[in-house]
Structure 1
Amino acid sequence: MDFIMQLNSTVNGFVWGPPMLFLLVGTGIYLTIRTNFFSVLRLGYVLKNTFFKMFSKEVRGEGEITPFQAVATALAATVGTGNVAGVATAIALGGPGAIFWMWVSAIFGMTTKFGEVVLAVKYREKTEDGRFVGGPMYYIQNGLKMKWLAVIFSIFGALAAFGIGNMVQSNSVAAALQESFNIPPIATGVVLAILTALVIIGGIKRIGAVTEKLVPFMAAIYIAGAIVIIIGNASHIPDAFALIFKHAFTPAAATGGFAGATIATAMRRGISRGVFSNEAGLGSAPIAHAAATTDHPVRQGLWGVFEVFMDTIVICTLTALAIMVSGLWDSGVTGAALTTQAFNESIPGGGIIVSIGIVLFAFSTILGWAYYGERCAEYLLGKGAIMPYRIIWIPAVVLGAVGGLEFLWDLADTLNGLMAIPNLIGVLLMSGTIITLTKEYFAKERTAK
């Protein structure tokens, strides 16, 4: 067992280390250049056709769920405890400059996610019972004709989901509710498992129906709280931005409880927070987008851009600014405790907002990753694997809430990082398809006008 743990630690250090992080960001840079900086220069067009059409009933093409339900499911999985605790940790260990590098990773990550979604819709399949299935395993198999690589991705995805998407999330919920309301973890686990079962048994249509209501609600509560803090400390905003840009390129000296950080540390912490948060390049979100009703892969790809923008540029940035303007970033506290202190400092009972945010973010992540995991299991073993996977998923929620099995969490974390390797191979080798479809889409748009 010691050998296995050591091996896992070594592999984990690689898949979540600087080389992999720069490969993930590098893929985004490559795609951004090849698409003529589309996701940045045409962000207004993207928001006009996503955010401002969020609740539009106009849906064209084939699919199981609406475009917004697809992105809501994907956001449900990506907007998690990392948006609360992860950002705080990045600042506490990497300094204010980490926020700048988080933005950089998100800017290029928008194009990576765009490319993943485009490929997912292009190469998705329609099952005999009318469902639409897709994701990296399908575009690797159907686009590259490399089924063995698709199988590897699916194995990593089906197993990794139990860590990042299940037990780690339920543990975060249990810890937050125990600290704020003294609720026993076992009680949290049981209730959470029941709620999860009620949703995931209904498949993607029920998950989509729940997440399209849950995601806007949970985001609105948390965003409103963060904005109140930022406005209440408006005089500190210029200083916060000055520190962010200054320490993105110069070391941050030790101050208060902050131990100091080099430029390299700020880069690594910021880039990793961006990648961990929006999952651009990991291949998870395209699985949800593949079920969307759309008439062109690029039209759904726009929602991929929006997804990263909302997750990292909006929610993670608001968390970061709330911490910075509160003046507590160098207090020596880290993780969710730092975010909680920042909210409590400016809003009476603000810590409750953080606790509610963690609960809703984590629950939504459990729902989204349940779908990702079962799609990977179905790819490997057929439709018959879906219900057994759901049945195993539900008690795992309780196990995570009560703690233990930390080694399994660590192993799942490693597998989660390994998902990126086959996915990035697929995205890079099929980048030509992404460019062709993008040009085709905008040519039709110009003709229509």
Structure 2
Amino acid sequence: MEAINNFLLLLDSYLGSAAYFPYILLGVGLFFTLYLGFPQIRFFSHAWKVVTGKFTKKGAQGDTSHFQALSTALSGTVGTGNIGGVALAIFLGGPAALFWMWITAFLGMTTKFVEVTLSHKYRVQTEDGTMAGGPMYYMDRRLNMKWLAVIFAIATIISSFGTGNMPQINNIAQSMEMSFGFEPMVVGGVLSILLALVIIGGITRIAAVTSKIVPIMGVLYVLGSLSVILYNLDQIGPSFAAIFTDAFTGSAATGGFLGATFAYAFNRGVNRGLFSNEAGQGSAPIAHASARADEPVSEGMVSILEPFIDTIIICTLTGLVILSSGVWSQKHENTFSRTDLEIVAGNYSDANEVDREALYHYLNGTEQNTIEKFTGSITVRDGKAVSNGYTLLHARSVAENVRFIVAGEDPYTGVLRIENGQLKKEDIVIVGDSLLHSAALTAKAFSMGFLGQPGEYIIPISLLLFAFSTAIAWSYYGDRAVVYLVGQRGVMPYRIIYVAGFFVASFADTTLVWTLSYVAIVLMTLPNLLGIVLLRREMKDTVKAYWQDFDAEHKEKSAKD
């Protein structure tokens, strides 16, 4: 698993974590924001009217209503990224990461408007009478770049596992085990059966289910978040101050958090923002292509609301819960994940300013780093290390109160071999105090409100709803990509593999799953961004024509009245 994770991290270093990627993603969003005259602001109120059905025309072609299409797309975006992803971004980049998530969402509202409009415009009707759309269709039918469409479709299938399938059930299972003691495999088995029952019914059943789940989960999560935010109201001001003051400098060290450079906070914030709202990834246009509408721009209007609801509202609530509660910079007892564990040479303490500075450079990979990974032996007696010359880092923090356990709960005694910073003995479990990340951090933050310890249960319940609905939506994205590549005959085999992957991921290593998602996202995003930039003039003309027709139609209606 470690070797696979390292390989995926290497790929990610050339893709989503590369210095160029955030600039491309934000650059395209900024370009269209200026090119189309800030549509996320000018069309915002109109979008709400469209989604409520005010301008819906009878007889329009499609499989779902505007609201159902929005619910399906939101169910695909509102998932672990809003709960675990925000926590991961803050864990990696500090409060500044939330600022860059906001910027990604604001510009992403325009990006999504463009990709949805173009995808809806070039959708097709399939053999079974349902609609199929997405970036692969405008790449093929309008740009005549079938090779790019094929790359995108293949990437969509991969991403359906790396974004919508595996991280979702993994977070559900881990959260349910932590909160209720349920075995991950049992949770995965039960939910896999439910997933199969839903997705076999296709987009009609998927839209019916998601349009009911999304409003319920949204209300539940907002109320739970407010119970923590209002309880820690005196910390909201300092939280916002940290978000903005650190935005262009990086986040300073505080508590167990050892700090993050601007580049690290910027990259993680943009990357997690994309994982959360998927603007530019090209996934949501597949759901919106099913909407009953004759004007592609009208469905593009609806999609403007997605990043706003997903990131500006829900991710902000998560971020404020984590920051105001203070748990993001505090160490808590947990079982150490091997993929989050590093052992470095030398004795370091985060209470020492010089040591903290050295660890900052090591964790952020700066040129000033002088720390090396430890190779040697650790002597352990009754579960506690008695030798020195090394420091255990877990979850980017100095581990404390470390205990080595073997054979269930027995303290280990003996000598442990360390090679290049990694513990080689596989049957050792390490327990201690360190920072938390992902859903575990968010759950801990939810216990710091009016509800107290029971507040933690909001997270497994929310994750169950958020992540399960995401897995439902992404199964549809994947099967539309399969339809494009091989036709209707490939849908059922894909669904079987999708459900099987969903089950297996319930007990897989969480860090590996998240790393896979980093790679899969970018494999969709880059081809999609290229495609919409190439169609920039057509997009502008399509929007202009929409408003001309809209104004003419309403003038005619007013004259009749």
Q: Give the TM-score range, shorter chain.
A: over 0.9
Q: Is the 8 A contact 2:166 2:513 kept in 1?
A: no
Structure number with the bigger relative contact order (C-alpha 8 A, sep ≥ 6) is 1
**2-structure distance, mates of 1:234, 1:195:** 40
Report the equivalent of 1:11: 11
Q: Provide the rounded CA distance (Å) in 2 between the counterparts of 1:404 and 1:238.
A: 37
Matches within 5 A, 1:387-402: 387-402=492-507
Larger deviation, residues 427-436 vs 7-16: 7-16
The equivalent residue for 2:197 is: 198
Matching residue of 2:551: 446
CA distance in 1, matches of 2:323, 2:67: 32
Asked if 1 retains the 8 angstrom alpha-carbon contact of 2:74 and 2:310, the reply is yes
1:49 shift after superposition:
3.4
Superposed CA offset, 1:12-48 (max 9, x none): 2122123122211111111111110111244233334
**Comparing 371-380 with 244-253, which one deviates more in the overlay?**
244-253
Partner letter of residue 12 of structure 2? N
Structure 1 residue 235: Cα displacement: 2.8
Listed one character per residue, the Cα deviations across residues 323-378 of structure 1 (whole Å, up to 9, x for unaligned) are 12223332243222221121101023111001111111111111011111111111
Query: In the TM superposition, what whole-angstrom CA distance separates every residue of 1:385-415 from its partner, at most 9, and x where no partner exists?
Result: 1111112222222111122698687556423
TM-score by length of 2: 0.76
1:422 Cα offset (Å): 1.5
Q: Is the 8 A contact 1:161 1:416 kept in 2?
A: no
For structure 2, list consecutive stretches of 5 or more residues without a partner in the other structure. 331-434, 556-561
Give distance in 1, aligned partners of 2:115 and 2:514.
Answer: 26
Counterpart for residue 91 of structure 2: 92
Aligned match of 1:415: 520
Are 2:142 and 1:39 aligned? Answer: no
* Letter of the 2:89 counterpart: A
CA contact (8 A) 1:32 1:38 kept: yes
Determine if contact 2:117/2:296 at 8 Å carries over to the other structure.
Answer: yes
For residue 30 of structure 1, what is the aligned residue in structure 2? 31
Distance 2:22 2:161 in 1: 22
Matched, 1:381 2:480: no
Deviations 1:261-309 (A, max 9, x none): 2222222222122111111111111111111111211110012110111
Equivalent position of 2:147 in the other structure:
148
Aligned residue identity for 2:15 = V
Secondary structure at the residue paired with 2:259? coil
Match of 1:355 in 2: 460
What corresponds to 1:300 in structure 2? 299
Aligned to 2:442: 339
Q: Deviations over 1:78-101 (max 9, x none)?
A: 111111111112222212222111
| More displaced 10-residue stretch of structure 1: 59-68 or 183-192 | 59-68
Q: Distance in 2 between matches of 1:243 and 1:354?
A: 25
Matches within 5 A, 1:318-333: 318-331=317-330, 332-333=435-436
Residue by residue over 1:133-163, the C-alpha shift from the partner in whole angstroms, topping out at 9 and shown as x without a partner, is 1101101001101111111111111123122
Q: Does the 8 Å CA contact 1:151/1:380 hold for their aligned counterparts? A: yes
- Alignment gaps of 5+ in structure 1: none
Letter in 2 for 1:389: Y
1:270 aligns with 2:375: no
SS where residue 62 of structure 2 aligns?
coil
Tell me the equivalent position of 1:21: 22
Structure 1 distance, partners of 2:462, 2:517, is 24
Check conservation: 1:100, 1:245, Cα contact below 8 A: yes
Between 79-88 and 413-422, the greater mean CA deviation after superposition:
413-422
Q: Which moved more, 1:116-125 or 1:95-104?
A: 95-104
SS of 1:301's equivalent in the other structure is helix
1:82 is aligned to: 81
**By how many angstroms is 1:229 displaced?**
1.8
2:125 counterpart of 1:126: yes
**Cα distance, 1:2–1:58 mapped onto 2, change above 3 Å:** closer
Deviates more, 1:106-115 or 1:339-348: 339-348
What SS does the aligned partner of 1:65 have?
coil
Give me the whole-angstrom Cα distance separating, in 2, the residues matched to 1:76 and 1:217: 12
Q: Choose 67-76 or 157-166, whichever is displaced more.
A: 157-166
C-alpha distance 64-167 of structure 1, shift in aligned 2 (>3 A): same
Q: Which amino acid aligns with 1:84?
A: I
Once residues 263 and 419 of structure 1 are traced to their aligned partners in structure 2, the CA distance between those partners, rounded to angstroms, is: 26
Aligned mates of 2:102, 2:535 — CA distance in 1: 26
Q: Deviations over 1:152-188 (max 9, x none)?
A: 1111111231222212221111111111111111211
CA distance in 1: counterparts of 2:510 and 2:320, whole angstroms: 35
Distance 1:414 1:147 in 2: 22
Residues 1:350 and 1:268: Cα distance change in structure 2 (over 3 Å): same
Task: Sort the Cα spacing of 1:248 and 1:215 in 2 relative to 1 into closer, same or farther, 3 A.
Answer: same
In the TM superposition, what whole-angstrom CA distance separates every residue of 1:217-273 from its partner, at most 9, and x where no partner exists? 111111111122222322322222222111113343211111122222222222122
**Using the alignment, how far apart are the partners of 1:207 and 1:2 within structure 2?**
36
Task: Report the equivalent of 1:49.
Answer: 50
> Given the alignment of the two structures, is residue 187 of structure 1 paired with residue 186 of structure 2, yes or no?
yes
Change (3 A) 1:269 1:407: closer
Instruction: Mark the CA change 1:251 to 1:409 in structure 2 (over 3 Å): closer, same or farther.
Output: closer
Q: Please state whether the residue corresponding to 1:36 is helix, strand or coil.
A: coil
Distance 1:309 1:99, change over 3 A: same
Aligned partners of 1:159 and 1:412 also within 8 Å: no
- The equivalent residue for 1:425 is 530
User: Would you say the 8 A contact 1:157–1:373 is kept in 2?
Assistant: yes
1:112 counterpart residue number: 111
> Which of the pair has more CA radius of gyration?
2
CA shift digits 1:44-85 (9 cap, x unpaired): 3333433xx17x795542101111111111111111111111
Q: Distance in 2 between matches of 1:406 and 1:246?
A: 30
Aligned to 1:244: 243
- Cα distance, 1:8 vs structure 2: 4.4
Deviation at 1:434, TM superposition (A): 1.4
In the superposition, relative to structure 1, how do residues 159 and 251 fare at CA in structure 2: closer, same or farther (>3 Å)? closer
Instruction: Determine if contact 2:136/2:153 at 8 Å carries over to the other structure.
Output: yes
Counterpart Cα distance in 2 of 1:7 and 1:228: 41
Give distance in 1, aligned partners of 2:294 and 2:319: 38
Rounded to whole Å, the distance in 2 between the matches of 1:328 and 1:2 is 28
Alignment RMSD: 2.2
Distance between the aligned counterparts of 1:412 and 1:330, measured in 2?
Answer: 25
> Which has more strand, going by share of residues?
2
Q: Which one is further off, 241-250 or 1-10?
A: 1-10
Structure 1 pair 440–201 and aligned structure 2 pair: CA distance change class (3 A): same
For 1:177-203, what per-residue CA distance to the aligned partner results, in whole angstroms no more than 9, with x for missing partners?
111111111211111011001100000
Letter in 2 for 1:45: H
Counterparts in 2 of 1:406 and 1:272: CA distance versus 1, 3 Å: closer
Specify the alignment match of 2:351 in structure 1. none
How far the C-alpha of 1:211 sits from its partner, in A, is 0.3
Distance in 2 (alpha carbons) for counterparts of 1:301 and 1:396: 32
